[in-house]
Structure formats: structure tokens, C-alpha cells
Structure 1
Amino acid sequence: MSQSSSEARILLALLALQNDPKLKVRRAAEIYKVGRMMLWRRQQGIQSRSDWIPKSRKLSDLEEQIIVQFILDLDSRGFPSRLRFVEEMANSLLADRDASPVGKRWAHNFVKRQPELKTRLFRKYDYQRAKCEDPTIIRNWFRLVANTVAKYGIRSDDMWNFDETGFMMGIIQSGMVVTGSEREGRPKSVQPGNREWITAIQAINAEGQLIPPFLIGTGQYHLANWYRECDLPGDWVIATSRNGWTNNELGLEWLKHFDRSTSNRSVGVYRLLILDGHESHHSANFERYCEENKIITLCMPAHASHLLQPLDVGCFAVLKQAYGRQIEHLIRCSITHISKTEFFDAFYAAFKATFTKSNIRGGFKGAGLAPFNPENVISKLDVQLRTPTPPGEATEPSTPWTSKTPTTAIEAQSQKTGEYMLPKGRKDIGENLQETALRETFEETGIKAQILPVPITSVATTPQGRDRPSKITEPIAVSQRVDKNSVLKIMFWYVATADSTIAPEQGTQQEGEDFDPVWVSFGDVESTVSWEDDRRIVSKAVDAVQQG
């Protein structure tokens, strides 16, 4: 007889005794087949062994099992839990009974004494490695979705995707424009220049429906004119944070907004919420709220949202293009500064134009989710087959990594502004230009690179007695920029190659630098860099590499 079965009968007996004052303990024990003395002790308020907490422990056996099952459930849905999350879960249970929180080492010790759990090193996927390994990862993702839909009876109306996207209020994207035929050089669009960050959180479902947006602006207080002078619908939510980004508290607030907006229209018992692995999307409180309100979360594989996320596939790109057109219109009307008031109006117009039923359903179709068709995604993958090392070479000394034809580029993203740029910096005394390029790349990204010969033209002469090489390591381009102190800078740009499967070294950046290295596919790199001159440089570099 299992312990859980016995406990269930005791609870039923206690309930019967509570509902029928005339029922005796002996008779109740006979009816529910439990021990008379055990039932009597429980009626007197003596705890069961499973609920009893030793003085050396913070949680009962039952509470610890709740945490174990929660961790295993999250892991099965693509959310491997960090120790910090385990600690948050424990403290959440303790807070329910006004108990003090656990200590610093509690989560580590808890995992050690749970045979069902163990800690593993969490390995981040870089883009190139993900593309090599994606077929298996992507097929597993669709298998997980299909199993979850079947297990919980998810209808297409209850299949939701949510994510966030950011806007620099006064920055517009590059695009094709019409100019006079005698104009020389590339045209430049005037931009208001306000780089204040706004985050938009949005959710859509497989039937082409959406919920009101949740916007997060930079600041501490709400201003009356946001609501008085803007035409935003009353059900849109505006929140604030120190930097305009989301956090755990705002992530939970959005989840409650999602619940309010979808609970009445839900067709089945459960709602499925597909999301990425951002910390604010699966904090302990976030997951607990989901469990309490029958919201099932599924986490997409890392670095695959451009393929698997309906919002990325069908909506966010066209939204940003439409927003850029709204800002261009304001500029032509001589509005040279974009405040939050102008942003909200421009965003509203762009949102209405792009978050259409056809775009939303197209996003789910492109992501292979509705109608369910994994081949929609798998057919797009750049599958690379690896030749195994012959047995005879296994005893050879290991050789350094050698370059293969690159398909991704490294960018440095500023943590302060969110801008993407190419690595660059000043030459040290005694360095040649190539040494400077490689050193600055390493300092800003933590990536060790080597100059890559590419097939470009050069006026440099060929040494006497040598054939002119088909690929050379000369600069790919030269550019000039004037800095804020009116000093003219001349920059020489080189093409280099590096191993994208190796994690960047930490602590290489100079004081005041705050860059994150980001690997981006050749197809996306020109559209992601923030500066027009960088786009020109990277376009030439990609062309040269692909020709070689």
C-alpha cells in the first residue's frame, strides 16, 4: 500500500469526521481502512510524517517533492533551472507560511541529496554551432510541441507566442530611396537621434488573434500627457523601468495582463505559451503563476527564434519597418525630437498596419506550428555534414584550428545603447595595422582572430619573381570619420576569421567599454549593424568572402 494512498484515505476520514459530528473515530477508521490511533492523532492536530519538518531542514518532504517535480517538469519543457531559481522556489513556499528564507548553500545541498536531480554545466550555443546541430534540435522541438499539444488538448485558439522587441525612439532603419540621377555617394536620412529605449511585449495566437501590447519606457513615473495627448486604446499597458528593459517584476506583470486578456476567450482548459529563454520569462514567480492558472510554457531552443518564433517570422520585422516610416514622416513635418508622446502615436499607427490577421497566421505557418509542419523550418536549415577523423590520424599531434569558409560575422553590441557595430580601435605605437585590427577585435569581443586572405583588387605591387596571389590580406576598405572633438580619423578595415564555436574570453575589454560579442549570419549582418558606414564595409567583406 503506497504512502500517498494511505494519506489520501486519512484525509477523507478526517473530512468525514468534520462533516458528521456523530461519526466516531473507530467507525471512520473502519470505513476508510486506516489505523484508529493514527486517525485519532491526526484529528488532534499531530502532523503526519510527510508534513513533519526536522529541525535541521527548512522544508517538509512534501514541499521538497513539489520543488523536485517542478524542476523536472520545467526541464522537460526546455527550461533547465539554475540554482538561483531553485532557491527562489524554496523561498516562495516558505513565504506562504511566513518562514525565514533558505541560506546561500541550500540550493546546492538540496540538489546533491535529490537522486533525481544533478547539476550540469549550461553550454551556450553560438549561431554557427547551432546551425550545424539544428536538424536534431529542431526535430526535438517539434516533437515536444506535438506531445504537449496532445497531452493537454491544446486548441489552435489557445496556442500563444509572446516575446519582446526594442525600439530606439528616434532611430530609423536603412532602406532604398529615390534621389536625383546626378547625386554622388549614398544618401543619408536625417534621424531625430533620440536613443531612448522602449520595449514592446506582444502575444499572438495561431488563429491570428492578439492581446493589447505592453510597453515599457525609460523612467520612474508616468506622465499625464502620455494618456492625454496620445490616442492609445484604453486596454494598452504602459509601464516604466530604469532603462526601458523588462525585468522579473515586469515579466510577471505582463503575464497577469496576458491572463486577463485571454482567460475569457480560452477554448480549452489549458493555454500554451511559447517563449524564449529570457530570465524574466521563467522566474519562479512567473512559472508559479502559470501553474496556478493552467498556462503551459514551452521554451524554444537557443538561437533559433528567427526560425521558430511566429512573432519573429511574421510580425516584428514589418512592425519596425512601418515604425521607421512613421518617424520619417514626422521628420518631413519638421519634428526633430521624438518624445514618448510622438513614439506612442507612431508605434500605434505602425502596429495597426502590421499586426494583421494574415501576418500573424503567416508567422505561425512559417514557424511550422499552425498548420503543424516541421518541414517548413527544417528545409531552411544550412545542414553541414562533418567527415569523421580516420582512425590512423587519432594519434597525430593536435593541430591548431584552421579557417573554413565563414558564414557568420562577429559584431560588438553596446550594453548601454543596444547598438551593433564592427570591432575597431586606435593603433598603438609600434603596431602595424593588421596587428591593431586583431588586437582591437580581441579586446572588444574576447575572440582571437587571424587575417583572412580574400580575392580583392589592390594597387600594391607584386614582389619580383613571385606570381600575383589570387587572395591577399590588404585592407578591404578605408573610411574617414570626424569624432566629437573634430578630429579626423582614418580607418583601415580588414577581413579576419575566427572559430565561432569557442567561447569568448572574459575580461579583455578596456575601462569604459561595455560590449557583448554577437555572431550573426551573413544574411542578417548588414541589416543588424547600426551605422551606415559599417553596413558599407560589411557588405564588401561578405561579398569578398563569398567570392573566395
Structure 2
Amino acid sequence: MPRHRIRNTSRGTTDMEVYRKAAEEHCKEGTKIRALARKYNVCHVTLYRYIKKVKAGNTNAVVGYRSVNRVFSSDEEKALQDYLIECSGVYFGLSPCEVRKLAYELANKNKKKFPDKWHDTQMAGKEWLTGFLKRHPSLSLRSPQATSLSRASSFNEHNVNKFFDNLGNVMDRYNFEPKDIWNMDETGVTTVQKPSKIIAQKGIKQVGAVTSAERGRLVTVAVAINAQGGHIPPFFVFPLKRYQDHMIREGPVGCAGAGNNSGWMQEAEFLLFLEHFKKQVKPTVEQKCLLLLDNHASHISILALDFCKMNGIVLLSFPPHCTHKLQPLDRAVFGPFKKMINTATDNWMRNHPGQTMTIHYIPGIVREAFPFSVTDRNAIAGFTCTGISPFNRNIFTAVDFAPSSVTDRPLQINIEIPPTDPWPSFDVTSTKEVASETSADVLPTSSDQLTDSINLSSKSQSAQDLPGTLFAEGNSSLTTPASDQRSHSPVPGPSGLQQISSSQSFNFTPKDLRPLPQAGPRTATNKGRKKRKTAILTDTPEKNAIEEEYKQRNKAKKTVLQAETEKRKRKFISTKGKGKGKKTRKEDKENNKSDDEDCFCLVCLESFSSSRPNEQWTQCMECKMWSHVECVNDDENYVCHNCESE
């Protein structure tokens, strides 16, 4: 079978509507067939055969060329197409190889006639897949974007509605205008860019582009935009302990910065960002502003919440793992920003050949990319597409929640449903299902609504003559008007939820062979960070709960620190007097190698193994733990702050 057959004639391609009009004219006015053939530019023999079939009572008569070697019928291929769209909509799409295997399994199970070569490879041929994609242009080969299971399951209707409840609450309480609604988030800018595409010679296997290093260093950039299109200068967090203001002199006008050992936003740096935000936005207790942010640990600290309450900043957090859909910066700003950063870095590498880029050049790179990406148009589009401003809690449809319908673990239904299929399926080849006129075109939002809708559908199975149902002649499958169609499983498509074509002479449907995956119940555990939720962080109940949580955490840390101090004291007493002379820092490290532990500065927490050459350390007289000489006022009788508090 040729893969790309070139058609040599246009015969058999005339639309059936032309034959239908000619047949009606022949029956009503008695026009001769040859005259009608010349009038409509069709073959008179083909028109004669079509009129003969119509007079015989066949209202669905067709003429022209038909495929005789097709493995599946048009209805069966439509069912397979809907199944593939459904799988891709719930983030479990099939690769071309998997589609070919599925086609072979369907053909084998349903006893279809197919080439013997399919048995040898246990899959359909490439020619079949090519023809299948041509017959269904709505399908195409796409590169999916990696999406974590947490994001797929957390972005569900319950979490989104909870966020919009909190958003509507603060909007009604304070009457915020678009200029008062802000969104902030951090992104990383690295010294090693992803090279953009270039023009090169064909046939070369590998085309290279120069980057600064194999692995770069990361600088955190905090950006804030508002719903009216405005923005504030960015805030930089450098991976440096000794930050200096001159490091951002090449950055955008009005920018600020800080530094820490990791380069990530931490509680102290977030408090500095809030001061920078207050300086630019100038909120007051009388004229408050709303700041939307994620649930990162650095954003939830007592000092930050106190600062926001004193300065009229209302904090509202997004639901966890939902920022890819709900955060305006992620939806409309950070994509163009990263692209412009890569372009600016490419230009810098071309203008500085042989020179290695360091983190000190990043503010200058951001200054070039910032005005072209963080624009008024992008900011307004981000708030609009997320439904924040203008406020629209119905911005997300059932298509957006389709991935969570497969992995939505909290939903428990006390009815008999196969565990591999999260929604009920009905075999309409044996029973005629009639959709109720009262059924909605949206997925049920609770288990009670789902149970009611399923009971309603099962009751309506016995009613075969209700209004609004249409049965095709010679076909046992049910066809309903578009307004009455009800989907029992989410199928993304142009019109929202589409109902998969019923089995259409399939004895074994694609879902029977490969059911959609269903996640099991979550395992309850107390390990790891506390699970957050969307909340108005500056409200008094939330703030008190966070403060109590911090007290418990600090109490636990203090207990661990005291136990570690007691352990070191006992170890020092047991080894006291065994050696002669004063013990040096190097000797102490060598003696503790068996413990496989590294010492840390009590003030800045930097490890001894990562300290600079010839850097001076001093030891506490009580607990014998070490600190940088630069971090403390060194004297001969140094006592650390832990021992002083005891």
C-alpha cells in the first residue's frame, strides 16, 4: 500500500448534497437525468444509480468511490479519535507507537480484517496511522509539556472555587480597584542561557552555540505587576553572603537587591522585598492594596505578616500547585521574560567573545529584557485570563479540570462504578439511553450531584419515546441534539465536553482495552512540610494560627539544639586532658572525622569545609562550638549566644 498516493482524477469527489438536489428536482419537476447531469456537472450514470436507490426507499444512499480495505468504519474511527482526545485532555496521551498497538488490539478483539503483517509486529502499520491522521485532521502529533501529578490533581474545581471565594471576600470587603491588585512571584535567571535557533547548513548532525559555562549560577528575581498594567522595579537575590549595593547599578532603574548563601528567597529577603514594594506602591492602612502570592515558606513569616498589617497590604495566597493556571505572572509574563533573557544573553556572549559571564552581569541583562516582556499588555492579559480582574470565577471550564477528574483522589462515591473508569459508561448497543432534558452540560461538582445525575440517567433508560431523542434508521446507536448531550467522561474539544461516540459496532471499545488510569487514595503522613491552602494570610485567625505554628516549630528546634549542645559537652569532658597543649581547629576536625560530621558557624551557619583559605575561626569556651572571627567580636573568653541564654 503506497504511503502517499497521488490522485489522478477528480471522479467520485462530488459532494452528496449535489446529488440530493438533482434527485429532488427530478422527482418534483420530472427533469431528465442527462439534463440534470449537465446542469450539476456530474456523471449521468452515477446520478441514475443514486435516483434509483432513493426511489427504492434508501434515504441514506451514497455513490462514488468507497474504501474497501478500511480496517475500521467511520464511526469506529470516530470513537477512537474521541478516546485519543480524551486521553490527551487528562494528560495521559498516547504516543504514535501506542496508538498503533491499540489499533491492533481493537482489530484483533473485534475480529476485523487487517493485514497479516500486523500479527508479526503486534501493531498497526505506519501507513494506517498516516491515513488515520489524514482522515481526522483534528488530531496532530504534539510535544506535551511536562506537568507534575501534584499540579494535575490539585487544580480541581474545589480548590479553584475556594480561591475565588477568598478573592471575592476581600474584593467586597475593601473594594479594590485594578490598580490596587498586585501579583508577585520569583523566577530564576542563570548565567548559562538556552541558545536560540540559528540558521545553519543542512546535513550537519550537530550545531553548537557558545554558552558561558557548563553549569551556571542562579540569581532570583522577584517581579510584581498589577491588574491595571503597572509594575515595580525588580528585586534581586544574589547567592552571596556579603551583598553590596553596587552589584545592581547596571540593573533597571529603581531596582533593589539582597543576598544570602543559597540565592533563594528566604524570610529575611522577603521582608526586604516588602519594604521595596511599600516604597514603590505606597499603600496605607486607609488605602490598602491586595498582594497575591504562592505558599512558599519564605512568604509566611510572622515578621512579614506584621509588616503587611501595619502598612495596609492584604496578602492572599493561591492554592498549592495551582499557580500554573491561576497566577498572572506565570500565564502571561514569565514566558516572554525568559525568552527575552535568553536573547539578551546571546547578544552579550557575541559582544564579549572569550569572556565568562558571572552573576554581576545579570542585572544588566535583566535591564534589557524587562521593558520588552513586563509590559502593560502582558500584565492585563495575565489578570484577565485567570479571572482575577475583571472578576470571573467561571473562567475555567470542565476542560481545564479534566486532568483532575482522573487523579482527583478526595472524591468518594457510594455507588458501583468500575475502579478503572472514574465516570459511568453505558453500552447503547443493547439499551437505548435517553438524555434527560434537565441534564446540565457541566461535570457534577459534588458526589451528591453526581449520584443524582447517574440515577436520573439510569431511570431515563426505560423511556424510549421521550421528546428530544432522535434515532437513526438502521442503526441502534443513539443520537441526541447538541443541547441535550451529556458527557459521562471528560473529553476536551472545541465545544467543551463532548460525548464519546458509543461503541458503534465495537464489541470491545478503546476504554475496555485501555481504561483511563485512576489514582488511589492518598497516604496520610506527618512528614515533610505542612500542607497549605489558599487563605487570606493577613486576617487575624490565619495570622494567629501561623504564629502558633511558628512557636511550636521554634520550640522543637530549640530542643534539638540543646540536645546537640549537651552531646558535644559530654564529648568534650570525656576527652579533656588526654592531649597535650592547645588543640587547633585543624586537629579538632581530624579527630571528628569518625563522626562523619562537619562543623558550622553558629552565626551564619556556613560549614567549615566551604570556608575560604586562611579564614579565622574562634571556639566557644563553654560548648566548644565554632564561629567566624568576622561574625563575632573575638576575644580570649568567647562565649556563644546559646550558652549565654542558658
Q: What's the TM-score bracket when you normalise by the shorter of the two chains?
A: 0.3 to 0.5
**TM-score with structure 1 setting the length:** 0.46
Q: Which has the higher strand share?
A: 1
